[in-house]
Amino acid sequence: MSGQKSNPPRQAIWLLQHACPGSDKEALTGDLIERFREGQSRVWFWKQVLIAIAVGVLGEIRRHWPHFSYAIAGTAMPAFLWKTVEGVPAVLHWYALPWPWSQLAFELSRPALLALAALPVLAAALVINGSFRWVGLLQTGMINLALIILGHYLLGLLDAFPWLLRPVPGNPYLFTILILPPPSLELLFFSSFLVSAWLGCRSPRHADEFERRARS
Amino acid sequence: MPERSYLGEMELMVLLAVVRLGDDAYGVPISKELLNLAGREVALGSVYAALDRLQEKGFVTSALGDPTPERGGRAKRYFRVTPAGLRALRMTRTALSNLWSGIPLLEGKRS
C-alpha cells in the first residue's frame, strides 16, 4: 500500500482533534485510522469525522443544557426588554445622582439589568438539573455583567470609525446601528451569556464524582 | 440532570456488544458487532457518544491500552460492563419481555 493510501487525511485528523468536543478523541482517532487502514475510503474517513463532531456538539448541548437555556433566554431578552430597561434609570431618578454616579448609572444600568434578567432562567434550569449553587449563579451574573460592559465599550470604540455606522431611521441624533449582518449582535449576546454560564457554573465537585465513578 | 437508570436503544445495543466482546471491547469491534449482529452501520462517533453516556450512568468503565503503530500511535480505549450495567440489562430484558408477551399480532397468531 502506498504512503498516500495508507495515511488518512491529515486535515480531517486536525479537525477532529480541534473541533470535536469530548475526552475520547485520541481513542476515536485511533479507531478511525485502524478502520481506514483496513480499507475504508477517504470519503468514509471525512464522513466519520464530521459525524463525530456533530454528535460531540449535540452531546455538549445535552450535557450543558442549562447554560444554553440561559444563553437563549439572554439573547432573546434585549429585544423585549431594551425599551423597558432604558426607562429604568429615569424612573428611579438615577440621572439626578451626582457625577460620576449619574454617568455610571447611564452607562451600566442597562448592561446590569440585562445580565440579571436571564438569571432566573439559569437558576430554574440548574434546579431541574440538580446542580444549583448560589455561588455559581452569582459568579455567572458578575462575569456576564463584565462581558456585557466590555462589549458595550468595545462597540463604543466604533464611534471612531463613522463609516461603519449609520443613523437609526427616525432618530438620527441619539442612536446609530452598526453595519453588521443582523445576527451579529445576537451572536455577541449569545456568546457572552454562554461563556459566563460556562465559567460561572463549572462544578469541580461533579467532575470529581465523574472521575470517581469512572474509576470504580 | 437526575441520572436515568434505564437504557436507550443505542445504549442497549452498545452495552450488549460490550458484554459480548468481553476483554476486547473497544470502538472498532463494537461497531463491527453492531453491523454484523444488528445490521446497523453506526458511525464510530455515535458509538463513543453512547459509551460516554453509559460511563456517565456508571454502566461501563474504561481503561486505555497501549498505543499501536497501525493506529497512528494512538491507544485503544477498552470498555468493560459494571455490575450496575448488568443489572440495567436484566431490567431492560424483563421490561421488554413483558411488553412483547401477549401480543398475538407480533407472534403471528392473527385472530
Cα–Cα distance between A9 and A40 in angstroms, integer?
12
- Beta carbons of A28 and B58 less than 8 Å apart: no
Entry field: residues in chain A: 216
Q: What is the structure's pLDDT at B1?
A: 44
Interface test with B, best of A16, A24, A29 (most B CBs within 10 A): A24
> Averaged over A64-83, what is the pLDDT?
82
- Please, which residues bridge with residue A177 across strands? A166
- Interchain contact, B49 vs A56, CB within 8 Å: yes
Place of cell 408477551: B101
pTM for the model:
0.71
Mutation site, A31, A33, A131, interface B, largest B CB count within 10 A:
A31
pLDDT of residue A125 exceeding 80, the answer is yes
User: Minimal Cα–Cα distance from A201 to chain B, Å?
Assistant: 14
Q: What are phi and psi of A63, to 5 degrees?
A: -70, -35
Contact A24/B at CB under 8 A: yes
| CB B66 within 8 Å of CB A73 | no
Residue A106 has pLDDT above 60, yes or no: yes
Name the E strands within A80-170. 165-168
Residue % of chain A over a pLDDT of 70: 72
CA distance A142 to A113: 12
CA distance linking residue A205 with residue A117, whole number of Å: 27
Nearest C-alpha in A relative to B68: A30
Place of cell 469512572: A214
pLDDT for A174: 45
d(CA A192, CA A201): 14
Residue A1 near chain B (CB below 8 Å) = no
